[in-house]
Amino acid sequence: MNELDNYLQDQETYDLHPAEIATLLKELNDEDFDSYVARLPKEIIGDVALELPDRYFGNLVENLSVDELSVAVTELESDDQTDFMQELEEVDKDVAKAVFESLGKEDQEEITHLKQYDEDEAGAYMQLEVFTATEEETVQTAIKRFAQLREENVLENIQNLFITEENGKLKYSIGLDDLLIFDFKKTFKEIIEAHKENFEPQVARTRQDIHDVVHCIEEFNLGVIPVVDSKGILVGRITSDDVYDIINEKATEQMYNLAGVDDDAEEDDAIIKAGKKRAIWLLLNLFTAILASFVISMFEESLHTLVALAILMPIVASMGGNAGTQSLTVVVRQLALGEISEGDGMRIVRKEVIISLLNGMFFAVLVGIVASLWFDKWMLGLVIALSMLINLFAAGFFGAFIPLLLKRLQVDPAIGSTVLLTTITDVVGFLSFLGLATAILL
């Protein structure tokens, strides 16, 4: 008997988190997967579905009726409801429509409201469930009301109480742990009056870029951030668990982009779709490789005259490519984390160039000595040493400059950077090495 069987037989004493259930389901074959999904409590199916990779979602919902899906959606928080319905629409629009129509009016309105925001806007990631009070309310009244809402399962994962005006405009934010040390008989106005600065909230705007919001949450070490509309009215909140998902998605996207693959396509089971996305980047890489080969063809006579050039040539290109990738990766990651400001570009480029030149001098001497001893030509060692220095300089400069330029042009720095950089380091490496060899040795 496995853990899922134990859970299904006795849920009171053998509790499993939806993430744990999702992990166990991923280990099953298709037949067992369908069997266990059909037996899971429908109240937790929604949470389990959102913990599973996208490729499992279709299999999961195919085992559930419209009524069962409706129960699953109803049990989710507003932001998760929207995510679930959007994924369901991608799987089967007719089923998604039937499930939506079976939901209560309030759930329908919340889902419709959240779907109006673009995927890069803060509003798309917020939960509409918030715990609020007015300044005239006493601490004791607010705590009693909160206890009742929690008991009725209206509110979950609440970290902060938001103080609003009668019209809903946000004024202050108070951590729930702070409530315990307040005088329960006093109003919030009496308590806040003496230390207003302690309760001034960091806020997100509904149309604000979600990555700017993430940076704010990280910078101020927030567990939750309130979301307000253009008039300052409190409309929702973004919690730390949502932020973790956003950071993970962004990191995955950048890793895929640096490798020249599409993150959406790779999450899909469609082999042809993923293959086409990769082929686009491979085609671009083919053209850049042809360009590098063209540079080599310009020195065909030199290569015939001195075969050692063909043997040593890959060393220069490889070292330049790897050094450039190091600089590129560091700068792209720092840009993603918001560690590079508007006027910080020159400092970053200078730093990467200096590091590359220091490494370049070391490896230029090392490779120069090896080449001299290998082919018994000290001038050949000088040529490859100079070429190594030139190419590592170019690698450091363009490895930092390319992502900064793309960022300035409002293009994701991870997209295409590797292909551009590889082209530059190959061309500069071959051109400098073969050009210097032709000029000095032949």
Q: Looking at residues 17-34, what average pLDDT do you find?
A: 88
Specify the amino acid at residue 143. Answer: I
Quick check: helix, strand or coil at residue 206? coil
CATH fold group of domain 132-244:
CBS-domain (3.10.580)
pLDDT of amino acid 257:
66
Q: What is the pLDDT of residues 398-421, one digit of tens each?
A: 999 998 998 888 877 777 788 888
Residue-level length of the chain: 442
* Residues in contact with 433: Cβ distance below 8 Å, sequence separation at least 6, in sequence order: 309, 312, 313, 316, 383, 384, 387, 391
Of the ranges 48-62, 69-83, 84-98, 137-151, which one carries the lowest mean pLDDT score?
48-62
| pLDDT score of 1 more than 50 | no
Task: Give the pair of three-digit tokens for residue 174.
Answer: 């108070």
Q: Structure pTM?
A: 0.71
d(CA 113, CA 314): 57
Cα–Cα nearest to 111, from 22, 46, 42, 43: 46
pLDDT digits (tens, 9 = 90+) for 239-298: 888 888 787 777 777 666 666 665 555 555 566 766 776 777 778 778 888 888 888 888
Which residues are paired to 237 by β-bridges?
127, 226
Q: If we measure between CA atoms, which residue out of 72, 90, 76, 86 comes closest to residue 119?
A: 86
d(CA 404, CA 420): 13
Name residue 174's beta-bridge partners. Answer: 161
Q: Please give the pLDDT value at position 258.
A: 65
**Residue 152: what pLDDT?**
84
What's the pLDDT tens digit per position in 170-214? 999 999 888 888 999 999 999 998 888 889 999 999 999 998 998
CA pair distance 331, 336, nearest whole angstrom: 9
pLDDT digits (tens, 9 = 90+) for 116-137: 999 899 999 999 999 999 999 9
- In the chain, what are the domain boundaries? 3-116, 132-244, 255-441
- Of all residues in the chain, the percent with pLDDT exceeding 70 is 93
| More confident of the two residues 235 and 52 | 235
- What type of residue sits at position 217? I
Superfamily grouping for domain 3-116: MgtE N-terminal domain-like (1.25.60.10)
Same fold, 3-116 and 255-441: no
Q: What is the mean pLDDT of residues 159-164?
A: 94
3-state SS string over 270-322?
CHHHHHHHHHHHHHHHHHHHHHHHHHHHCCHHHHHHCCHHHHHHHHHHHHHHH
Q: Calculate the average pLDDT of the chain.
A: 88
CA atoms within a 13 Å half-sphere pointing along the CA-CB vector of 19? 1
Structure tokens at 255: 């890793």
Please give the C-alpha separations between residue 267 and each of 25, 57, 125, 250, 384, in angstroms, as whole numbers: 18, 12, 21, 14, 44
CATH of segment(s) 255-441: 1.10.357.20
Residue 169: what are its φ and ψ, rounded to 5°? Answer: -70, 130
Spell out the alpha helix ranges (H) of 92-225.
Answer: 93-102, 105-115, 139-151, 176-179, 188-193, 210-219
CA 377 – CA 372 distance, rounded (Å): 5
Q: Give, in order, the Cα–Cα distances in Å from 308 to each of 364, 379, 382, 385.
A: 17, 12, 14, 14
